[in-house]
Chain A
Amino acid sequence: MTKRSFLVALALAIGFAVVGFESGRFWAYLVYSVAIASIGALSLNILIGYCGQITFAQGALIGVGAYGAGIAGNAGWGAASLLVGAVCSALVSLLIGLPALRLRGLYFAISTLAAQFILNYLFKILQPLTNGVSGLVVKPLMLFGRPANDEQYAVICVGLLFLSWLVLTRIIQTNVGRAFLVVRESELVARGMGVDVARAKIQAFLLSGFFAGLCGGLIAFTSRLANPEAFEIGLSVDQTAMIIVGGLGSLGGSIIGAGFVTLLPEAIERLGELLPSADLISAFREMAFGILIILFLLLEPRGIVALARRIFARRGAAARTNLPDRASYGSGAISAQNGRKA
């Protein structure tokens, strides 16, 4: 990370925290919603965008963090409950990831789909822990002796997002993060280079799970509720849309994508209020993400970040970081000769 990107990120974080704190409840709500979604998207991008392990269980994993933090919070753990939620999710993520040591690509993805449904089912039937379908009411975080309000949550969430981004950015620039990228491109090459593929995957699942749990804990506290409906496959889809729209393999892109996907429904809703055909618009809202995902996958699989870079490059702002061509993304074009009978 360059000094410049650090300072830019810090300035943005302070800017959004101020907006969230000073502009009333609605803006506070928008700011913390985007910040929380961003933490989830960062987590998912580590796993899918960096390490190449496709998962559909992100929604349930966020749920685990929400329940973990909610239960700890209700038991009086205060802010430390966020850590409890994060650790719970990290452990469950590891469990979900274990099949990845044997299965690859689509096969593994399907096993995560199963995990998503199993977890969601558990949220419903583990009545004593989760309070079943009606959901767990979560006591608010206490701040200065009073329950935290939306403005304060906005500042907390933006602060935690900044920290998450900072930590992940640094990790990506160590050999741990470099190993993720090589594993994504080709496990065979990674092994041949002496990278411990199994260890890299385990690290990616733990790391990604931790931040998914943090995201979940924040959802539990800000919405004061952890209910199964909030953590269904739809949340996994939203989160996936965020990293595809923002940019696979880009931490900054995750945040841009999270903003886009979180704010788009709000914008469409506003639009619906203005236009007569409100029903049509709200139906369109459901479709919008699907269309977005497909469009981006077809036209720019590396997301808004790549799009922006390309536009800047065309404007002559010397493309310092040349863009990889999209056709070969993740193709892992290694010669099949390198170690067939492995």
Chain B
Amino acid sequence: MTLEVRDLSIRFGGVAAVTNMSLDVNAREIVGLIGPNGAGKTTFINCIAGVAQPDTGAASWNGRAILGLSPADLLRLGVARTFQSVVSLHDLTVLDLVKLGAAAHARRGRGFLSQFFGSDKAVDEEICESLLAPLNLVDVANSPIQTLSYGQRKSVDLARALACEPQLLYLDEPVAGLTFQEGLNMGAVIRSVRDRFGCSVVMVEHKMDVVMSTCDRIVVMAHGARIFEGTPAETQKDAEVRRVYLGDA
């Protein structure tokens, strides 16, 4: 159950967005990926999430090469992601989106005819209990996503990703845009998700307090490359990290 990324590089025209980036993630580990804006974090996630095609490098999940696979392929292998900005998916309700998420998972997807003729009641109840309750979304289960607060939408996106029972979860700035309290809650939720599902997590985040309290290990990126790696405590102490990232003189 490990993710191994080796020497991954991608350029956009003249911009080297990611350069020779390597990353290992162990089973049940939460790795924080931090770095200033434009460091290449989202681009890196996109490369290993089947959205962007890196120029060079290799990546494997449980020994299987994953570069070049589509997001749908990756979901089938148990790799899911959330989005940095949530779309205001109009008329879909929370349950709609989570059910659609579950469909990406081979075992959880229901056949068309059973959906067409059958009732969703049992499925809805199961989703409410196992996914929405831990994320405080039961009250809004039938509300259109459009009507939810930004923080709730982030939770919905997480619930959608969790619905396909991922073993590896990429979270792109799960806390950005949330209030301080919502952010702390989200950090706690991420840890409990890891404990319940036993999945590995790669999380890109800016808010240092949340990163420090949530992650087991931290990787710092700047200008498309890794500049530091260590425990939260070591990261906070490192002078170079403080200089480029934490804004010390």
Listed in ascending order, the chain A residues whose CB lies under 8 Å from chain B are: 170-171, 173-176, 178-179, 181-182, 184-186, 188-189, 191-196, 249, 321-322, 324-325, 328-335, 337-342
Contacts of B101 in A (CB 8 A): 193-194
Contacts of B70 in A (CB 8 A): 191
Residue in chain A with minimal CB distance to B172? A338
Contacts of A339 in B (CB 8 A): 46, 51-52
Residue in chain A with minimal CB distance to B12? A341
Can you list 21 A-B pairs, Cβ within 8 angstroms, ordered by A?
A: A170-B117, A173-B120, A175-B110, A175-B115, A178-B92, A181-B91, A193-B100, A193-B104, A193-B160, A194-B72, A194-B101, A194-B103, A249-B91, A322-B143, A328-B90, A333-B88, A334-B85, A335-B84, A338-B42, A338-B46, A338-B172
Whether B87 contacts A191 by the Cβ 8 Å rule is no
CA–CA, A186 and B109, complex, Å = 22
CA–CA, A340 and B84, complex, Å = 13
CA–CA, A196 and B100, complex, Å = 11
Listed in ascending order, the chain B residues whose CB lies under 8 Å from chain A are: 10, 12, 42, 46, 49, 51-53, 70-72, 75, 81, 83-85, 87-92, 96-97, 99-101, 103-104, 109-110, 112, 115-117, 120, 143-144, 146-147, 160, 164, 172
Contacts of B89 in A (CB 8 A): 181-182, 185, 189
Q: Contacting B116 at CB < 8 Å: which of A170, A179, A184, A249?
A: A170
Contacts of B143 in A (CB 8 A): 322
Whether B51 contacts A342 by the Cβ 8 Å rule is yes
Contacts of A340 in B (CB 8 A): 12, 52
Whether A196 contacts B87 by the Cβ 8 Å rule is no
Whether B71 contacts A191 by the Cβ 8 Å rule is yes
Whether B42 contacts A174 by the Cβ 8 Å rule is no
CA–CA, A290 and B198, complex, Å = 58
Whether B84 contacts A175 by the Cβ 8 Å rule is no
Contacts of A186 in B (CB 8 A): 87
Contacts of A170 in B (CB 8 A): 116-117
Contacts of B91 in A (CB 8 A): 181, 249, 324
Residue in chain B with minimal CB distance to A319? B147
CA–CA, A73 and B155, complex, Å = 55
Contacts of A179 in B (CB 8 A): 100
Contacts of B146 in A (CB 8 A): 322, 324-325, 328
CA–CA, A341 and B50, complex, Å = 11
Q: Contacting B87 at CB < 8 Å: which of A173, A178, A185?
A: A185
The 7 closest A-B pairs by CB, nearest first: A194-B104, A335-B85, A339-B51, A174-B115, A324-B146, A322-B147, A194-B75
Contacts of B10 in A (CB 8 A): 341
CA–CA, A333 and B172, complex, Å = 16
Whole-angstrom distance from the CB of B170 to the nearest CB of chain A? 10
Whether B116 contacts A338 by the Cβ 8 Å rule is no
Max count, chain A CB within 10 A of own CB: residue among B72, B143, B172:
B72
A181/B71 contact (C-beta < 8 A), A191-B51, A324-B147, A338-B85 known: no
Q: Contacting B84 at CB < 8 Å: which of A325, A332, A338?
A: A338
